[in-house]
Every structure is written in structure tokens, then in C-alpha cells.
Amino acid sequence: MSTALLTDARWALLDQTLPMLVAGELITDGETSDITSSRDKRVVGRFAVPDEAMVDRAVAAAREAAPEWAGLTGFERGKYLLKIADIMENHAADFEFLDAVDIGKPVTAVRYSDMPVSLSALAYFAGRAQDLGGRSVDVGDPMVSHRSRLEPYGVVLEVLPWNGPLWTGVQRMAAILAAGNVAIMKPSELASASFSYLASLVADVLPPGVLTVINGRGSRVGAQLVKHPDVAMVSLTGGIETGVRVLQDTASQVKRVSLELGGKNPNIVLDDADLDTAVMWSTMGAFSNSGQVCVCGSRILVQRGIYDEFSARLVAEAESREVGDPLLESTAMGPVVGEDHYGKIWGYIDNAISSGEGELLAGGERYSDDLRSAGWFVPPTVFGNVAPRCTIAREEIFGPVVTLTPVDSLDEALEIANDTKYGLASGIFTTSVDSAEKAARELQAGQVYINQWFAPGGLQAPSQGYKTSGVGGVGMEKYLQTKNIFTRTSAPSGS
């Protein structure tokens, strides 16, 4: 490690146990879990985890805080969110450092993506707190007037994934609180540093119990919270298996559940695409955050006329990507999150190579240099001529691995694109409006990107996955329930 990185004052953030926030108190005593850095597999710190009694205490405090929080005006709730945004902005460099060290996210990715997304979510939902929605309809009887009110559930549990612990957490927390619920946030056991740190910064800002941050393993702490009878609504961002588990664990209580799950997102590149645009966005779509993005474009379906040129250019981009220490400004891609995930990704790569699932065009070999062999680094890996039914073209790898499949036509591309259990995101590169519109109509996914990958608008136009990629509502509305109110008047309504 360079001297500048060794002497970075922010290492001191990890000297103390990172806390949980329970009943307004920062908890650091009791059991802890190690923070193992993805960049060099070193234990660099620890975070507090609860026992069963602490989880019960946290839910009880949240429940107690719920009525008063719901009774505040939207303006008042919004002001709290804006305060949190200010505090986060003042500590932006700390968040960059913690996510880089903990999960290997490049500091620049946190600075230019995760932080702005988090801050804009706080500002956006601070405003939305003043307008929860509701409407009035003509019910067909002049003596009866109608209006609907959107009301909070009370105690909402949000279970977070590890791939974007800060922005997914802050965005969801802001929506939950704006809607008038209290929030219990459960970061992933693989990525607890940044959210625990946030808890330590905002503990004094919110009334006790309004925000709870509870760390710990999903199978133990997550499951206890999910099953807790005083948790009214459960929202999870994670894998399908976990989603199924949550549905099973809440079924007997008929609990409200929202699931944002995985994807194996098709990216169609037609002969008439602008190649510079298609290569640039496809590279970003495949390898951003080391491919650990739920909406990444991990299977690319390329029309034969440009297949050779497109694949040569994508391979060149993959091979020139700066893969290295996430703490360095120059790094474009860091390591993957941890040992199990690293093993899973290599399992897919090794199996694809040994069973001839397409030809290996880039990556696919373990790093041997000192820096990258010390951490959980996987090179940007491209497989060409992959048959659509191969394992690497069907299963969510959630790593920097992309498949290229040649297709003859848009119709063939759409058929392959939709032949999946997933339906999270999709995209097409073409200069034909007709082809773009046809794809937009026929792709079975909650998002369609045309001539780009990723897009702003997650707040204003939140998406829900199709098929097994999601269920249970989007945006702030998923944290609200609708009450219809019917009033019989003695005079016709409106007169």
C-alpha cells in the first residue's frame, strides 16, 4: 500500500466498533463481527451485532416512536431528512473511504454515483413528505363524496443488499420516513460499515426509535426481524432465494412485503446501432461496480452484421479497464465483495471454460500480481458466441462477466431476451425508432434503456421488476397503504 494510503487519517474511523442505533442509543458493546476488506482480505475493523433481546428492544422502541412520527407534518419530517443530507455531505469523504475499504467500491464511484444518489433521494423525499398523494373520484352517487388518504404502515423493516449499501439504504430510508413510517434498517453482514457510520452521525438528529440500524446475519437477525409481529411491513433488496424465504417467513402473518430482486438483463445491439455509443454504454453496463449491479447488462445479443467489430471493441474496453485499489482515484474497477462471492463468480467462469460455454475473449484468468492477488479481484471477462441456453447466459453471476450471443434479427433477439425467469432491466442500441419502439413494447422487464445503459430517474420513475425480479410496489407508494373514505351528505356533493 502506498504511504499516502497507509497514513490516510480516515483509517481512524475503523479504530472503534461501528455501532448499531437502537432506541436512539448507539450500541457498541456486546457481540461484534469483523469487517474484512475486499481489497486485501485483511480484518480492518468490526461492527456491533445484536442478540435476540436487542432485536426485540429495537422493535419495541420503533413501535413506540411510530405514532408521534406519523403525526408530524410532512414539512417537519422533511426537515429531518434535509438535516441528514447536510450531515452526509459534510462527511462525504468518509463514506467514500468506508465503502472502498469494506466492499471494494472505487472512491470515485461513491463520490460520483452513490453519494449524489443518496443526497438527491433525501432532498426528493423531503419534498414528497408534504404530498403523500390521495385522490377523489366520482362514485356515481351525488349524495356520496369520496377521497382517499395514503397512510403509513408504522414499523417498516428494510433489508439491504451489499452492492450499494449506502445509496440503496439512504434512498429507501428517506422514502420510509417521508411516508410517515419509522424505519428499521438491516444492512447486509457483508457491507455494514457505511450504514453503521451513518447511524453514528445521525443518532442525535432523529427522535429515538424513528431510525433503527441493526446489523447482523440475514439468517439470524434478518429472519428474527422479518418474523417479528410488530414489524408491519418488510421490504427487501436482495437475491431471489432470500426473497422466497421472506415470503415464507411472513406468509402466516399475511404481512405486507416488497421484494426487489435479481436480474439477468439482456442488452440488444442491432446492426444499425451507433457503435461508439453501444460499446461505451455496454462496457459501463457490464462492468460498473465489478458487475455487481442488479440492472447490469450481463448478456449482450448482437446482430451478426456488427458482431465481430462490436466484440473486438468490447474486448478492447474490457482489457483496458483500470482494475486496482479502490482507494486510488485512477481505479475504475475494484474487487468483488467477499470470499464466497469471489468463489461463486470463479465457479461460473471456470465451469464455462471447461465445458466450452462459448469462447473466452477477455479475462478469465486469476491475477498474479501482488496487489490484486491479495484481494478478491476478478478481471473483466467476456465470453463470445455463447449459446442462449448456457448457464453463464442464464444465471445471475453478479460479477464482471458478460456474454455475447450473435443473433440474426430483432425478433430473434427479443425471443432470447425474454426467455428468462428474470425481468428487471433490458436495453437496445439502434438508430431505428421503429426497432426501438418494438423492443420497448415487447421486452418483458420493468425498465428498457434505449441507446444508453443505466439512467437517472429512479426517484421520479421508480421501476418494479417483472416476473421473479420483484413484487410489491415501488418508490414511496410501497410504504403507504390506501384508505378510501366515503361521506354521505344531505346535499349532493359539490352543490
Handedness of CA 159, 55, 341, 386 (dihedral sign): negative
- Euclidean distance between CA atoms 485 and 483, whole angstroms: 6
390 is catalytic: no
Nearest distance, CB of residue 450 and ligand NAD, angstroms: 20
- Euclidean distance between CA atoms 121 and 173, whole angstroms: 9
CA distances, 173 to each of 117, 179, 262, 416 (Å): 13, 10, 21, 37
CA distances, 166 to each of 83, 112, 155, 233, 339 (Å): 17, 13, 21, 21, 21
- Euclidean distance between CA atoms 15 and 46, whole angstroms: 9
Nearer to ligand NAD, 180 or 262 (CB): 262
- Contact between 174 and 158 under an 8 Å Cβ cutoff? The reply is no
Nearer to ligand NAD, 39 or 245 (CB): 245
H or E, element range at 187: none
Nearer to ligand NAD, 310 or 466 (CB): 466
Nearer to ligand NAD, 100 or 221 (CB): 221
Q: Compute the chain's Rg from CA coordinates.
A: 24
Nearer to ligand NAD, 10 or 220 (CB): 220
Nearest distance, CB of residue 483 and ligand NAD, angstroms: 28
CA angle in degrees (0–180, nearest 5) for 441-426-440: 15
Q: Where are the beta strands (DSSP E) in 160-199?
A: 182-186
Tell me phi and psi for residue 377, to 5 degrees: -95, 135
Nearer to ligand NAD, 226 or 407 (CB): 226
Nearest distance, CB of residue 398 and ligand NAD, angstroms: 5
Nearest distance, CB of residue 205 and ligand NAD, angstroms: 24
Tell me phi and psi for residue 229, to 5 degrees: -65, -20
* Grid cell 440500524 in the structure block, residue: 213
Nearer to ligand NAD, 225 or 386 (CB): 225
Nearest distance, CB of residue 225 and ligand NAD, angstroms: 7
* Grid cell 412520527 in the structure block, residue: 69
Nearest distance, CB of residue 342 and ligand NAD, angstroms: 13
Beta bridge partners of 157: 184, 234
- Euclidean distance between CA atoms 432 and 418, whole angstroms: 21
Strand order in the sheet with 470-471: 25-27, 20-22, 211-213, 182-186, 155-159, 233-237, 256-260, 470-471
- Residues shown for the chain: 495
| Grid coordinates given for 149 | 388518504
CA angle in degrees (0–180, nearest 5) for 153-156-160: 150
Catalytic hit among 96, 294, 296, 317: 294
Nearest distance, CB of residue 235 and ligand NAD, angstroms: 11
- Contact between 214 and 225 under an 8 Å Cβ cutoff? The reply is yes
Q: Which residues bind ligand NAD (CB under 6 A)?
A: 159-163, 186, 188-189, 218-219, 222-223, 226, 236-239, 242, 245-246, 260-263, 294, 396, 398, 424, 465, 470
| Grid coordinates given for 9 | 487519517
294 is catalytic: yes
Nearest distance, CB of residue 49 and ligand NAD, angstroms: 11
Catalytic hit among 260, 317, 357, 396: 260
H or E, element range at 281: helix 275-287
Nearest distance, CB of residue 470 and ligand NAD, angstroms: 6
- Euclidean distance between CA atoms 46 and 28, whole angstroms: 10
Which is nearest to 307 in space by CA: 409, 393, 394, 398? 409
Residue type, 206: L
Closest residue to bound ligand NAD by CB = 218
Beta bridge partners of 21: 26, 213
Nearer to ligand NAD, 244 or 312 (CB): 244
Nearest distance, CB of residue 359 and ligand NAD, angstroms: 27
Strand order in the sheet with 381-384: 359-362, 381-384, 401-407, 299-303, 266-269, 425-429, 447-450
Nearer to ligand NAD, 3 or 252 (CB): 252
Nearer to ligand NAD, 347 or 356 (CB): 347
Active site residues: 260, 294
